Structure formats: structure tokens, C-alpha cells
Structure 1
């Protein structure tokens, strides 16, 4: 039997991340980068809704290595990186922001060579904050792959994900496009 589970974060107007974003000089752009969102620096997806098969890599012990990738095929799928950061630290906390959920650049290139449509992570991104974060997202965009950050994953269903439904607010003026994400899991 299969179930559809909401895995995006819905923030209230008084959530600390929203309050921080509203206080920024570029509040419109900052608000687009809180909660579950997709960074779109050079291009964005062609459609606002996708239904794709998914592969989940359990990254709670370590981020994937080249050896780990040999066990999967990502072509035209969503790659879900299950780090446990969201469940362990809670979204918006200092510890969540400092969680080491980043891919090695060679591993990212190997993933992109296998042509996934999306990379989803229950963390702040696949590259370290700042220049690397943006560079990794742009590199994914070069391969028509888009990164969705800050999804909610937890045991036991996180490893049972078989497909994803992703709804993107493409009209957002920010480079961060808010997303609704649903996971289809096998019970």
C-alpha cells in the first residue's frame, strides 16, 4: 500500500526564519530562501509541478561517496539525501545551519553525470554556505537539475520514499522559489 506524505515546511509569520527574512534589506529575496525552497540562479524548471520517481540515500552516518553512488541510478529521478539534520536539530536553529550536509564536488559531478531532475535534502543545501552553495546550485542548473532544500524527513518512512510530487512557486520574485513537496511511500 502507498501513502502520500507532506514533507515541506510551512512557516508561520512569526517563525524566527520569517522574522529574520523580513528584517533583511532585500526581504523579498530573503523570504524566498526560507523554509522548503529551490534556488534558481541561472534558470528555473520549465513546469511548476513534477511527479518523479525517487532514490533515497541514507546520509545520516556520512554524505555519499563515489563508492556509495555505484548502488543507484538517478536518471530522470529525484535524488533524496536523508541526512537527519532536520529531525535532529529542527529547522532554523544554529545547529541546523551548521550541520555538515554538504557533498564533495567530485561526488556532485558523478551524480549530475547520471542526470537526476532534482536533488532534495533535509538540510540547508548541498554546498557550504556562501560561494560554494551558489556554485553547486548553478552547476546543477547547468544539468537541468534543481536542488530543493529544507525538506522534512524522519524514520521510518524516509527510507521508503518511492516517488516525489514537487510544486514550485515559479512566479516568486526571489531566486529562492518556495516549494510544496510530497513523498509517495510504500507502507
Structure 2
């Protein structure tokens, strides 16, 4: 079974937010499920498919930062897509103030550790791996190491009982935008 993990965006909410932005084109790239490319590096076509694993931190993500000690003993396959399931997209509707307010985040130590892992993508079901002014530098650090952050995923709970699965990620290149709209689909069969 295939699962579309792309967040459906309420067009009215999107238009309200876009009307407040200085550069509508740049802002549109950061709506809904998207990957951040602040360094404007070229994403290799091989990244379209990869093994996926899910890390469930939904029991702690609203209480504190997700730390390196929380990920101990998680085997990461080569060229993987690591999904971080916080549960935020199930608790709050995408586009509302509560969805973005104090969203779960990864510790800086964990982000640094992830730079040395065999990842292609790091996906999360909230609006970023860090908040505020720390958002962009965290994404840049991973991108410089060939890892792209994909934000605002949904439906990750459907993958809780699958060890390793196949992931298809499609994105739309844009020479200017720092956020690229994308579609992420997981094949629920165990990855072989």
C-alpha cells in the first residue's frame, strides 16, 4: 500500500499568509510540504527513491527538544530518508497559529550528529527542525552535507509498524526559491 505523506493545504489560509509576504514567489515555496534549499545545491536524481525509516518521538516532542540520546540504537540504512514523527500534524491543523507556535525541534547536538549519517532526506511533521532564527542555519548545515530537510509532512503515523520502507520524493526545481514544493510517497511494504 502506498501512503501520500504530503500535507493538503487550505487555499484560503495560504492566500491570507501569502498576502502578507514581501516576495510571494519565495514564500510560496515554503507552503505545505516542501524541502529547503537555502544553499541552492543541485539535488541528485538518485534521491528520488530511497529506503525510509521512521523515528517516533511523539511521546516527548511537545515537552522538550529531541536529543541525541533519544535516537540511540536507531539503525540508519545507506542513503535513507529519516522521518521524524512528532505527532504535531495530527494535533494541530496545518496553517493555524497553533501548528506553528512552539513546534517540536531537534537539539543542535542531534542536528550536528545527523550531518555524519548516511541520509538523503530528513523529514518532519511540523514546520522545521529548529525554530525562528535557528531554522535556516540548521537546514543549511544539513544541506551542505547532502541532506535535505522536508517540512510539514503528514500521515506519518501510518508507518509506525513498518521497519524499512521505500520512499518516492519528487520536487520542482526553481533557480530562485529557497523552498521547493514536493510530494512524498511511502510504499508500505518492507524495503528489500
Q: Same fold (TM over 0.5)?
A: yes
Partners in 2 of 1:148 and 1:76 — Cα distance?
A: 15
Partners in 2 of 1:90 and 1:99 — Cα distance?
A: 14
* Correspondence for 2:52: 54
Against the structure 1 CA distance between its residues 45 and 154, is the aligned structure 2 distance closer, same or farther, given a 3 Å change threshold?
Answer: closer
Out of 115, 118, 125, the position equivalent to 2:118 is 115
Gaps of 5+ in 1: none
* Correspondence for 1:40: 37
Partners in 1 of 2:52 and 2:27 — Cα distance?
A: 29
C-alpha displacement of 1:48:
8.4
C-alpha displacement of 1:72:
1.5
When normalised by structure 2's length, the TM-score is 0.86
Partners in 2 of 1:9 and 1:66 — Cα distance?
A: 27
Gaps of 5+ in 2: none
When normalised by structure 1's length, the TM-score is 0.88
Out of 89, 107, 111, the position equivalent to 1:104 is 107
* Correspondence for 1:69: 71
CA contact (8 A) 2:34 2:152 kept: yes
CA contact (8 A) 2:47 2:120 kept: no
C-alpha displacement of 1:36:
0.4
Q: Does 1:158 align with 2:155?
A: no
Report SS of the residue matched to 1:103. coil
Deviates more, 1:81-90 or 1:157-166: 157-166
**Number of residue pairs matched?**
182
Report SS of the residue matched to 2:90. helix
C-alpha displacement of 1:171:
2.8
Partners in 2 of 1:70 and 1:11 — Cα distance?
A: 34
C-alpha displacement of 1:82:
0.4
Give the RMSD, CA atoms, in angstroms.
2.0
CA contact (8 A) 2:32 2:152 kept: yes
CA contact (8 A) 1:80 1:121 kept: yes
CA contact (8 A) 1:55 1:72 kept: no
